[in-house]
Amino acid sequence: MATEDRRLSRRQLLLAYAIGGFGLSMNAQIVLLIPLQARAMGAGFDQVGLIVGSGSLAAALSSVALGSLVDRLGPRTCYLLGTGSCAILSAAYIVPSTFWWFLALQPFLALSRTLGWVASQAYISDVGAPSERATHAGRFSFCSNVGQLAGPLLAGTAAETVGLRWGLAVPAAYALVFFLLGLRLPNGHRGRGSGRAEAEQVERASALELLREPGLRFVLVATFARIWVTIVFTTFLPILLAERGVGAGLIGVVMSLMGIVATAAAPMAGPLSRWTGSEALVATASVGCGAVALVLTPVLAPTWLVFVLPCLVGIGVGLSLPLLMGVVADSTPPSSLGVAMGLRSLANQTASTSGPVIIGPMIGALGVAVGFATAGVGAGCVLVAAYAAFARGRHGFDAPAGQEKSR
């Protein structure tokens, strides 16, 4: 869909790419530290799932509204609001003496992180000519994966050195750094500036219209499966390893492998989609690797082969993100990019909510093997069904990368 060509200087482009390091890394740090700290404070698997899921539920219910806010106020403003509030709320986790306070804080932290992440994606999706956006999305994705690599390593090392409670200062400082980076970004478009009633009407119409796009519908289902795999893996594998006597520092190293592999895999997304002639197939197969990792977790976690698991998940994380972001940008007018990213975030948060809430109690009641196997098989079935449904239409999403996609 046509849009004006909004170009940035080289320095500004580097900043726009760099802010991609915020969202996934913050999530990786939060998902690593908060469940471990809650568990250390006496929380059960079901309570850990409830804490993680409560934040995701709040973000899921407000994702489209947050996207509409990005369209109204502009991506830069919302990015600053998200990262600034995220820094403050992350620091608040240091104070509580009982894990029940985490349940109260989690929804607000999830909202702030989601706002910053949606705004950063909307910002990069509106940069440059349409023919350049795959390149910009790929570089943004590269920074996202580097952040996801560094996040668990930083958080795990801090927790090992100063303890889990003070290790929670790491995500607070990290968010502050990205807030300061955001201050140096140019404004870009300033948003619609609509009144509240008008904005709500535009939001509903935009979301319903965008959902008519077959490519976007596939993206939402694939995104759900992608995040379901990631949230179950990153929430419960660290706890499983900790209860087998593995230290927080080594857990951080294991989890950081996901970011390492994702960073290495991301540049291969374009060549693989051209080689196969199908972006949908590459996205489906890559996320499927993560589903296989969940099924294998109970078998490999007690052995040195545990390092294979984050590598499989990392393949899905690295290959799928630039492909899915590119489809969203191609299927959406620039005035509705925030809502489109909000829809994608809705799929993210729905998976983030349902994953821990469903699988946590299942692990507690039926055991690790049943819980992880159910999560992996469920994600695989959703992926296969989504690809089979989309393949019947093939309305442009499977066009080789670099060719114009039909609308």
Kindly report, residue by residue over 178-198, the tens digit of the pLDDT. 999 999 888 765 444 444 444
* DSSP summary character for residue 42: T
Q: Which domains does the chain have, with CATH numbers?
A: 10-393 (1.20.1250.20)
The 10s digit of each residue's pLDDT in 41-55 is 877 777 887 887 788
List b or e across 79-106, with b for residues whose CB sees 16 or more CB atoms inside 10 angstroms: bbbbbbbbbebbbbbeebeebebbbebb
The helix or strand, by DSSP H or E, that contains position 206, with its residue range, turns out to be helix 196-210
Q: Which amino acid is located at 152 in the chain?
A: P
Structure tokens at 87: 């820094």
Tokens of 94: 């240091």
Question: What is the C-alpha separation between 205 and 335, in angstroms, rounded?
Answer: 13
Question: For residue 284, with 0-12 CB atoms within 10 Å meaning exposed, 13-18 middle and 19 or more buried, which class applies?
Answer: buried
8 A C-beta contact, residue 252 and residue 151? no
* pTM given for the model: 0.68
3-state percent breakdown (helix, strand, coil) of the chain, nearest 5: 80, 0, 15
- pLDDT-derived band of residue 132, with 50, 70 and 90 as boundaries? low
Q: How far apart are CA 132 and CA 135, in angstroms?
A: 5
**For residue 400, what pLDDT is reported?**
41
Residue where the block lists tokens 């199908």: 278
Of 205 and 107, more confident: 107
Structure tokens at 342: 């909000």
At a CB cut-off of 8 Å and minimum separation 6, what does 391 contact?
A: 280, 398
Q: Which of 8-17, 247-256, 331-340, 398-407 has the lowest mean pLDDT?
A: 398-407
Q: What is the mean pLDDT of the chain?
A: 79
- Amino acid letter, residue 322: P
In this structure, what DSSP letter does residue 41 have?
A: T
